[in-house]
Amino acid sequence: MSIIKTSYSRRSFLKVTALAGGGMMLSFSWLAGCNPTPEEALTLPKEWFELNSYIKIGENGAVTLMSPNPEFGSNVKTSMPMILAEELDINWKKVIVEQADFFPERFERQFTGGSQGIRLAWKPLRTAGATARQMLINAASKTWNVPAGEITTEGGILFHKPSGKKAGYGEMASKAAGLPVPKEVSLKHINDFKIIGSSRKNVEGLNIVTGKPMFTLDYKQEGMLIAMIVHPPAFGLKVKSVDDATARSMPGIRDVFTIKTLEDDYERNGFDTTSFTELVVVVGNTTWEVMNAKKALKPTWEKISDSSIVVQGRDGKETVTIPAGLESTEGHKASMAEMAKKPGNVLRKDGDPEGAFQKAARVIERTYSAPFLAHNTMEPVNCFAHVTAEKAEIYAPIQAPEFSMRTLTARLGLPKEKIHIRLARMGGGFGQRAYGHHLVEAAVISQKLNAPVKLVYTREDDMTYGIYRPMYTATYKAALDEKNNLIAYQVKAGGIPEGPLGHSQNRFPAGAVDNYLAEEWKQNSNITIGAFRAPRSNFLGGAEQSFLDEVAELAGKDPIAFRLELLERARKNPVGTDNDYDPERYAGVLKLVREKSNWSQTDNNVHRGVAAYFCHNTYVAQVIDLSMKENKPVVEKVYAAVDCGIVVNPDAAANMGEGAIVDGIGNAMFGEMTFVDGVPEKNNFDKYRIIRQMEAPKSIEVHFVQNEHDPTGLGEPLFPPIFAAMANALHKAKGVRLYNQPFSPQIDKKVLG
């Protein structure tokens, strides 16, 4: 057992009462997968005793665990309570899981994104569980008048073996709740874990398969109106006027007006979007009526002028220029080619790259590109708000409520104590739901109407609203000496309106090459961007790992052996001191995937591609097995090896990994948003191609490295490298290298041509 201090999680012991919530669905873990036996079926207790923010125990032994973070499908609502339950030492089948509201006074970091949920909650949740357990032990120690050190627990029962006394947690809960919080608690040794590391079903499983209301879009309350927005059809346009005469007279329509969501001089945070701050709003009784009235509006638009805004982003305060103009994809491509010729901003330089390229035996240079991508969560943007003069009630699909809270406070003129944000299950997030514009819009609309409102975007509104993954390009250059050693490596990358390299210049292969150079540039745009599953890495991983495949080929080396050779160099004799990866763990996933995929085995009908990447603190290597059927690539199998430390819920972790792999293959093959005169050319799923059942891999194996490292991120790291594994396998299958995403149109052309 390790002893740790609890002092850092004081806030979880504050006895502050939650604002009125109500209507939240409880999730019983035993409901998933089977019908409870009568012993398992919990009756709700007469009274709950709160041991800390996360844990309530009823006098009958029922346990409620609060899941602090917003749930968007990564299954934190199961895995976070599993961590609490492990240290509390209870029977998982008797647990009730409840989604916490946004409540920063009681919970730490209620943010879902960056694959950091489990990593950063690991210690706080374990401590909360262990502390509550210790308080129950202390209560029993007092009651039985025996030393606390002689009391053991198992499955929610306290034992004093020497005297044969035992009691359920429920019997001690009331006394425990009144005891002081212990200064130190012991955490379990990982070998003693019973819940962590063994797969548990999604606590919402039954609710999902029976269609229970769980998303904001499903939410309803007395007197609630439906609001929809009309935003400009193009980036670079704003509302000029709107003729709403017809719309107003349509059945079920209550009001039509224009709102301004953020003032121009408002200092934004990184999750405030600037897409369209002026919107036309239609309000009515039902969704269908409002949808129809929306179509009857006759708005006119005018061009925006150049402007600038102040943003408090991840790199500090920045003034961002928003250029006027109606941009097109063709223009973007031309200007990117121009920008790529100019010197970039040097992010890292080791040795003498120029000199090394001059004396190289062979040099290879390749340029990669990827388009804007829309998130396209299956649940379109929506939000419930009821704002009165006294308070604001918000029920929202939101990944980053603390940022929305800041914006809402400023915009509504209410202090944060008067704003209550309830966290809905999200029908997907992928980064888009970190941007809280929908909360502000719904709140402003509700404030104006003085009524409860549900704001609903149509799919078209959602897909054409912006917050896209930026458009990127990168040129890589490598030099080999006579013996085919990599002696120089350089990357110059840029994007619209953000470069992909900014925080990744110290990643592999930096540290493994004597002469290294990383440069970056960017070009402003009025098309808005946002985090998208593994931001920046989602391009870099694919480009870099495709390039390394080609360098290995040029060097006449096996692509896995080539990477291992570089990693060995980085381990033994690293170049530079700030390399941000552990070469041994990196090599570990490559070796594991080599073993699991039987890499050395070859089959003429199977074309294999490999890639590896490290991001979000997690190491991933992947192998794709491709076959060609009727000239179309079929992904027969994907092998993934992952090192994310301890895996809390293995089957759910594998599910998320499978999702990232399929999502990556889909975006590599089909994902693309293009523009003509500022207008996004795709506005629904008939035009925007998303991977479907027939194109999905036939099977996927996700293997986790077994070790005792604290858990790291998982939602994102399996996404970036698969782009390269796919490109590398396609190269084997068709003999062509693909440099520009999406791949599918090029393959189709090559098949036909």
Partner 1 sequence: MAVFILNINGKKQQVDVDPATPMLWVLRDHLNLVGTKYGCGIAACGACTIHLGNIAMRSCMLPVSQVGNQPVTTIEGLSEKGDHPVQKAWLEHDVAQCGYCQAGQIMNAAALLKANPHPGDAEIEAAMNGNLCRCATYVRIRAAIKTAAAG
Q: Which is nearer to partner 1, 213 or 351 (by Cβ)?
A: 213
The residues that bridge with 497 in the sheet, in sequence order, are none
Q: Does 662 bind partner 1 (CB under 8 A)?
A: yes
Strand order in the sheet with 607-615: 607-615, 618-629, 632-643, 699-704
**What 3-state DSSP class applies to 434?**
helix
Cα 448-449-453 angle, rounded to 5 deg: 110
Nearest-approach distance from CB 454 to partner 1, in angstroms? 10
Q: Which is nearer to partner 1, 295 or 342 (CB)?
A: 295
Cβ 430 to partner 1, closest distance in Å? Answer: 8
Q: Identify what 241 binds: partner 1, ligand FES, none; CB under 5 to 8 Å per kind.
A: none
Binding partner 1 (rule: CB under 8 A), the pick from 89, 327, 393, 663 is 663
691 near partner 1 (CB under 8 A):
yes
Instruction: Show the site string, 36-65: x = touches ligand FES by CB under 6 A, - = not.
Output: ------------------------------
205 lies in the binding site for partner 1 (CB under 8 A): yes
3-class state of residue 514 by DSSP? coil
Q: Give the C-alpha separation, 243 to 237, whole Å.
A: 17
Query: Which two structure tokens, joined as six digits, stand for 608?
Result: 């294999």
Residue 456 to residue 600: CA distance in whole angstroms: 53
Using the CB atoms, write b or e for 43-78: b if 16+ within 10 Å.
eebeebbbbbbbbbbbbbbbbbbbbbbbbbbbbbbb
Q: Which of residues 296-325 bind partner 1 (CB under 8 A)?
A: none
The SS3 call for residue 477 is strand
Residue 366 exposure: Cα atoms within 13 Å on the Cβ side: 20
Q: Which SS3 state, helix, strand or coil, does residue 746 take?
A: helix
Considering only the stretches 236-244, 593-601, 613-621, 694-702, report the one whose residues sit in contact with partner 1 under the rule CB under 8 A.
694-702
Query: DSSP secondary structure string, 399-433?
Result: S-HHHHHHHHHHHHT--GGGEEEEEPBPS--TTGG
Angle among Cα 286, 287, 289 to the nearest 5 degrees reads: 70
Question: Residues 6 or more apart from 572 whose CB is under 8 A from it?
Answer: none
Give the integer Cα–Cα distance in Å for 95 and 75: 16
Q: Indicate whether 428 belongs to the interface with ligand FES (CB under 6 A).
A: yes
By the rule CB under 6 A, 609 interacts with ligand FES: no
Q: Should residue 73 be labelled a site residue for ligand FES when binding is judged by CB under 6 A?
A: yes
In the region spanning residues 377 to 406, those forming contacts with ligand FES, defined by CB under 6 A, are 378
Interaction between residue 205 and ligand FES (CB under 6 A): no
| Site size with ligand FES, rule: CB under 6 A | 3
**Judged by CB, which is closer to partner 1: 3, or 694?**
694
Q: Nearest approach, Cβ of 719 to ligand FES (angstroms)?
A: 15
Binding mask 171-200 toward partner 1 (x if CB under 8 A, else -) reads: ----------------------------x-
Site string for partner 1, 262-301 (x = CB under 8 A): ------------------------xxxx-x----------
CB of 2 to partner 1, least distance (A): 32
Closest residue to ligand FES, Cβ-based?
A: 378
Looking at the Cβ atoms of 425 and 522, the one nearer to ligand FES is 425
Q: Is 634 in contact with 733 (CB distance < 8 Å)? A: no
Which residues, 6+ apart, have CB-to-CB distance to 59 below 8 Å?
A: 45, 46, 47, 49, 170, 171, 173, 174
Least gap, CB of 385 to partner 1 (angstroms): 18
- 638 vs 1, 335, 603, 690, 718, CA distance in Å? 39, 37, 15, 19, 11
Q: Which does 656 bind (CB under 5 to 8 A by kind): partner 1, ligand FES, none?
A: partner 1
User: Closest CB to partner 1 among 351 and 650?
Assistant: 650
Does 209 interact with partner 1 (rule: CB under 8 A)?
yes
Pairwise CA distance, residues 365 & 543, whole Å: 12
| Residues 331-390 interacting with partner 1 (rule: CB under 8 A) | 376-380
Among 202, 525, 617, 712, the residue binding partner 1 under the rule CB under 8 A is 202
Binding of partner 1 at residue 690 (CB under 8 A)?
A: yes
Q: Rule CB under 8 A: which of 53-72 touch partner 1? A: 72
Pick one of partner 1, ligand FES, none as the site partner of residue 287 (Cβ within 5 to 8 A by kind): partner 1
The binding site for ligand FES (CB under 6 A) comprises 73, 378, 428
